[in-house]
Amino acid sequence: MSTATTQGGPELPQERRLVTEIPGPRSRELFARKQSAVPPGIGTTLPVFVTHAGGGVVVDADGNSLIDFGSGIAVTSVGNAAPRVVERVRRQVADFTHTCFMVTPYESYVAVCEKLNALTPGDHDKRTFLVNSGAEAVENAVKVARHATGRQAVVVFEHGYHGRTLLTMTLTAKNMPYKQGFGPFAPEVYRAPLAYPFRWPTGPDACAEEAAAQAIDVIDKQIGAENVAAVLIEPIAGEGGFVVPARGFLPRILEFCRANGIVFIADEVQTGFARTGDLFACEDEGIVPDIICTAKGIAGGLPLAGVTGRADLLDSVHVGGLGGTYGGNPLACEAALGVLETIEQDKLVERARHIGEIMLARLEALKERYPIVGDVRGRGAMVAIELVKPGTKEPVPAGPIAARCHAEGLLVLTAGTYGNVLRFLPPLVMPDHLLEEGLSILERAISQG
């Protein structure tokens, strides 16, 4: 049964295949090495060591082929080792690997920026610059907003996640594991309530309006709108548990920002690039952010992130005020161009919607059968279930069910402020039969309590 493959990518057999226990002996050996070489602060969701990946599967060092419901945390949306990405990177790596765009520029960087300017929401005049990670994109968006407005305060939301650097960990809501012991934190960061329908005290119907009113109250009463440089929000909270804000919340916040000269920054690091069934999640409610941060799915796994926004804001920064050695590395830019071609030519936005229909229907049915499933939510290929003690909203940790899925060869991720969310982020190229098989494994894992 085991096939000795020498290449990853979509040609890998699209099958779940377990030839050892998970993790197998070779992975266990490698994991022992990891434990003596790498600090435990760098955690491991599933300790199988990968040798190949592509389409909807990840193949490990023992020859097991696992169904991938994680995409490396929403990164390999076009699939691992996607052909157009591989081809472009292969050509580029032989031409030149780095010059530093700030020293001697190259065309692919500009081409990626042109694409982002054209494809992100809004037809106003835009600019883009490129950095290496989601956190770096968010930090830079805040720098630009502060510089352009001459104001300092930044407003973020409950359940928000924005990164692990000093500023972005400050912007992040959850203490463990992201902030504990890492203070003191950056100043001038304020947190407002998020319209979390499942947990809103008065129920989902009034959630959007009440949460927006409370958030605006925080700004008006605790900070003063004229002191706020930016409001920063994920259109769907990712690490926080795939919380889709109640409809109407985002437009109300945006309207308030517009009326008060506050820069509205959308963190689309996790939601971007077709993941939610739109190219960007903001499109769902017609949100046009002043600045949008992108990363993850942008380049199929090569490190790249973008800050795209109103030309007047981005142009306000003096020459040399933005940058970094590696930002917009030529390999990553070629990868991004390959990703964008793949999304367009393989119709991956539509494909994400199709995946969403399959997953949401099956998960809703699960919710009917198993009262531990308190909520099913998400859009496109970014969906989740929130686990609760039946009949209550008391969180039930998602770890044990995730572990059962892992043992059966289904890679799933957990999330959520209360650690009780199982989230599903399959590559958008995953074939339907693997999606269905993965959902059946999940169902078995849930049925076991």
141 vs 434, which CB is nearer to ligand PLZ? 141
Subset of 283-312 contacting ligand PLZ (CB under 6 A)? 295
Query: What minimum distance in Å lies between the beta carbon of 444 and ligand PLZ?
Result: 28
Question: Quick check: 267 binds ligand PLZ (CB under 6 A)?
Answer: yes
Question: Quick check: 376 binds ligand PLZ (CB under 6 A)?
Answer: no
Question: Quick check: 161 binds ligand PLZ (CB under 6 A)?
Answer: yes
Interface residue with ligand PLZ among 92, 128, 270, 414 (CB under 6 A) is: 270
Question: Quick check: 134 binds ligand PLZ (CB under 6 A)?
Answer: yes
Interface segment toward ligand PLZ; rule CB under 6 A; list 130-138, 149-157, 325-333, 373-381:
130-138
Question: Quick check: 404 binds ligand PLZ (CB under 6 A)?
Answer: no
Interface segment toward ligand PLZ; rule CB under 6 A; list 114-122, 158-166, 283-291, 354-362:
158-166
Interface residue with ligand PLZ among 163, 272, 300, 380 (CB under 6 A) is: 163
SS3 for the chain is CCCCCCCCCCCCCCCCECCCCCCCHHHHHHHHHHHHHCCCCCCCCCCCCEEEEECCEEEECCCCEEEECCHHHHCCCCCCCCHHHHHHHHHHHHHCCCCCCCCCCCHHHHHHHHHHHHHCCCCCCEEEEEECCHHHHHHHHHHHHHHHHCCCEEEEECCCCCCCCHHHHHHCCCCCCCCCCCCCCCCCEEEECCCCHHHCCCCCCCHHHHHHHHHHHHHHHHHCHHHEEEEEECCCECCCCCECCCCCHHHHHHHHHHHCCCEEEEECCCCCCCCCCCCCHHHHHCCCCCEEEECHHHCCCCCCEEEEEEHHHHCCCCCCCCCCCCCCCHHHHHHHHHHHHHHHHCCHHHHHHHHHHHHHHHHHHHHHHCCCEEEEEEECCEEEEEEECCCCCCECCCHHHHHHHHHCCEECEEECCCCCEEEECCCCCCCHHHHHHHHHHHHHHHHCC
- Please identify the residue of the shown chain whose CB is closest to the bound ligand PLZ: 134
How many residues sit in the footprint of ligand PLZ (CB under 6 A)? 16
Question: Quick check: 135 binds ligand PLZ (CB under 6 A)?
Answer: yes
Subset of 68-87 contacting ligand PLZ (CB under 6 A)? 73
Question: Quick check: 253 binds ligand PLZ (CB under 6 A)?
Answer: no
Question: Quick check: 239 binds ligand PLZ (CB under 6 A)?
Answer: yes
Query: What minimum distance in Å lies between the beta carbon of 163 and ligand PLZ?
Result: 4
Question: Quick check: 179 binds ligand PLZ (CB under 6 A)?
Answer: no
Interface residue with ligand PLZ among 127, 162, 351, 423 (CB under 6 A) is: 162
Interface segment toward ligand PLZ; rule CB under 6 A; list 80-88, 128-136, 372-380, 425-433:
128-136
64 vs 120, which CB is nearer to ligand PLZ? 120
Question: Quick check: 138 binds ligand PLZ (CB under 6 A)?
Answer: yes
Q: For binding to ligand PLZ (CB under 6 A), which residues are involved?
A: 73, 133-135, 138, 161-164, 234, 238-239, 267, 269-270, 295
